[in-house]
């Protein structure tokens, strides 16, 4: 029990990382919202613009169909920005964590604190995106939040942000040079965004491709959020939620252990 307790992060100490990031971003707060605009532009340009030329998808307007996928993308953007880019530069260039470890903070506290901050950023994107989706549906139409279940889409989005945050921190521990970001974004993030069910039903893909898509986190994020915003909730959502929880937990454990090897020598 004692060794396990030593491995687990302290909520109190890890919260200090969130406070530190709040202080750092206090004077550049607009940077925090930069990642929110990409999915918003996709919603306006494709969901409402191109959507006017696209027939209904499974009885849903095209805007209502892609909105939950873009909500998942908002969570992913926040997680990647803080869970990957910022942590990489703190780890390899600024040496921020070397100084922090001279305090009572441990690697587990740093890892969990940085993940919390990435979740906060992803959750801010999700909340703002949901408000915009609701306003556009009310003012411009057609509605894109079609069910009372939509009130649960925000806590579900927080779970999605947590999973992507843990995965982003985990992936960052494997990066050795700035050019590695191109591989992660080009071969990981972008294919998930395009083929994970955001813009079209996954069952339209060939079987071989569909099976690959169904094991990536973006697919499960979209399949968790879309039933909530459209009112098509059934038992399958539990499997998608379980995938996100287990994947996020596993990614956090791997990230914590790899950071331990890098920082504690």
pLDDT score of 35: 64
pLDDT score of 2: 39
Q: Which domain holds residue 135?
A: 31-263
205 pLDDT exceeds 70? yes
Average pLDDT of the residues of the chain = 86
Average pLDDT for residues 161-188, to the nearest whole number?
90
| Residue 14 placed within a domain | no
Task: Say which range, 35-44, 52-61, 178-187, 239-248, has the weakest mean pLDDT.
Answer: 35-44
203 pLDDT exceeds 60? yes
Q: How big is the CA angle at 114 (ends 16 and 67), to the nearest 5 degrees?
A: 125
Per-residue pLDDT tens over the stretch 230-261: 999 999 999 999 999 999 999 999 998 898 88
| Residue 245 placed within a domain | yes
Neighbour tally for 93: CB within 10 Å: 9
> What CA–CA distance (Å, rounded) separates 42 from 44?
5
Average pLDDT for residues 173-184, to the nearest whole number?
89
Per-residue pLDDT tens over the stretch 119-161: 888 888 888 889 888 988 888 878 889 989 999 999 999 999 9
Q: In the structure, what pLDDT confidence band is assigned to residue 48 with cuts at 50, 70 and 90?
A: confident
pLDDT score of 31: 64
Residue 57's SS3 state is strand
- Count the domains in the chain: 1
Neighbour tally for 138: CB within 10 Å: 11
| Residue 24 placed within a domain | no
Average pLDDT for residues 47-58, to the nearest whole number?
79
105 pLDDT exceeds 70? yes
Q: In the structure, what pLDDT confidence band is assigned to residue 50 with cuts at 50, 70 and 90?
A: confident
Residue 83's SS3 state is helix
> What CA–CA distance (Å, rounded) separates 232 from 253?
34
Question: pTM of the entire structure?
Answer: 0.89
Average pLDDT for residues 38-61, to the nearest whole number?
80
pLDDT score of 22: 83
Whether the link from the prior residue into 142 is cis, omega within 30° of 0, is yes
pLDDT score of 251: 93
> What CA–CA distance (Å, rounded) separates 248 from 224?
15
| Residue 74 placed within a domain | yes
| Residue 97 placed within a domain | yes
> What CA–CA distance (Å, rounded) separates 240 from 5?
30
| 8 Å CB contact between 151 and 69 | no
């Amino acid at each position: 029990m004692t060794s396990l307790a030593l491995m687990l992060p302290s909520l109190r100490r890890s919260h200090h990382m969130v406070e530190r990031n709040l202080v750092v971003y206090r004077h550049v707060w607009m940077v925090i919202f930069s990642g929110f605009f990409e999915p918003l532009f996709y919603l306006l340009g494709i969901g409402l613009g191109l959507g006017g030329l696209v027939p209904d998808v499974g009885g849903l307007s095209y805007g209502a169909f892609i909105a939950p996928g873009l909500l998942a993308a908002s969570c992913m953007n926040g997680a990647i920005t803080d869970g990957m880019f910022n942590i990489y530069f703190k780890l390899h260039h600024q040496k921020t964590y070397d100084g922090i470890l001279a305090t009572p903070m441990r690697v587990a506290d740093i890892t969990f604190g940085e993940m919390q901050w990435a979740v906060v950023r992803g959750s801010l994107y999700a909340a703002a995106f949901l408000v915009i989706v609701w306003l556009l549906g009310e003012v411009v139409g057609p509605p894109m939040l079609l069910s009372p279940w939509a009130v649960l889409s925000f806590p579900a989005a927080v779970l999605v942000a947590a999973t992507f945050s843990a995965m982003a921190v985990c992936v960052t521990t494997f990066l050795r040079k700035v050019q590695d970001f191109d591989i992660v974004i080009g071969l990981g993030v972008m294919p998930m965004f395009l083929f994970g069910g955001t813009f079209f039903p996954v069952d339209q893909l060939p079987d071989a491709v569909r099976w690959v898509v169904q094991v990536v986190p973006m697919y499960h994020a979209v399949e968790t959020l879309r039933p909530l915003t459209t009112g098509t909730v059934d038992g399958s959502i539990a499997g998608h939620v379980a995938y996100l929880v287990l994947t996020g937990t596993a990614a956090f454990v791997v990230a914590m252990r790899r950071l331990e090897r890098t920082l504690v020598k």
